[in-house]
Amino acid sequence: MTTPWSRRRDVRRPLASRVAAPREPVDPARIGWRVVRRRAKGMYAAAVARALEGARFDARQDSRHEHLADDTRVRAELAEWERIEQLLADAAPGTVYDPDTDDVVQAELAAEAAAAAAREAELREAARVAARADELQALRELGTLEQTEPREGDEAARDELTRR
């Protein structure tokens, strides 16, 4: 007997719904920077100095263990604490850290947005080429390919058909 909430094991879902979209590779340094910025938001210089000392202590402790000695994230976190400490040292007294006003953070966000836009444009172009290749394939099967007018970008569609 099956219940409404149990899944039947013999029913297979289509492969397309189970396949995850390609993901960006994990960057431990970027994760470390984001963790530090989230923790440092709203901190004064004295609190950042204490956090930097804690990060230095953790780095020294990690250096004693072979599997932690070359941890990219720990080094990135330490470097980010040092950068934030220097940023607040150069700022007016009483300034708190705010990632929204940090030029380095804003430049990284702009670069990430530009890279995402470029990836999106590449995906749109690949979809357009695939659609045109499907159209050319259908015309070839109908026997009317010779009667169609070539379009700009048909070379990429032909390459796609050749690759298939």
* Identity of the highest mean pLDDT range in 10-14, 20-24, 56-60, 135-139: 56-60
Is a pLDDT exceeding 70 seen at residue 119?
yes
Phi/psi at 53 (nearest 5 deg)? -65, -40
Average pLDDT taken over every residue of the chain:
82
The string of pLDDT tens digits covering residues 20-42 is 556 778 889 999 999 999 999 99
Q: What is the mean pLDDT of residues 40-57?
A: 94
Mean pLDDT confidence for 66-77: 81
DSSP 14-74: PHHHHSPPP-PPP-HHHHHHHHHHHHHTT--HHHHHHHHHHHHHHHHHHHTSTTTTT-HHH
User: What Cα–Cα distance (Å) separates residue 71 from each residue in 67, 78, 152?
Assistant: 8, 11, 49
Residue 127's contacts (CB-CB under 8 Å, 6 or more residues apart) are none
User: What pLDDT, on a 0 to 100 scale, did the predictor assign at position 136?
Assistant: 78
Q: How far apart are CA 18 and CA 89, in angstroms?
A: 51
Helix, strand and coil percent figures for the chain, each rounded to 5: 70, 0, 30
Residue 90 has pLDDT above 50, yes or no: yes
Q: Tokens 């990135």 sit at which residue?
A: 76
Q: Quick one: pLDDT at residue 15?
A: 47
When comparing pLDDT for 20 and 66, which is higher? 66
Contact 8, 2 (CB under 8 A): yes
Residue 109 pLDDT > 90: yes
Tell whether the model's pLDDT for residue 84 goes beyond 90. yes
Tell me: pLDDT of 56 over 90: yes
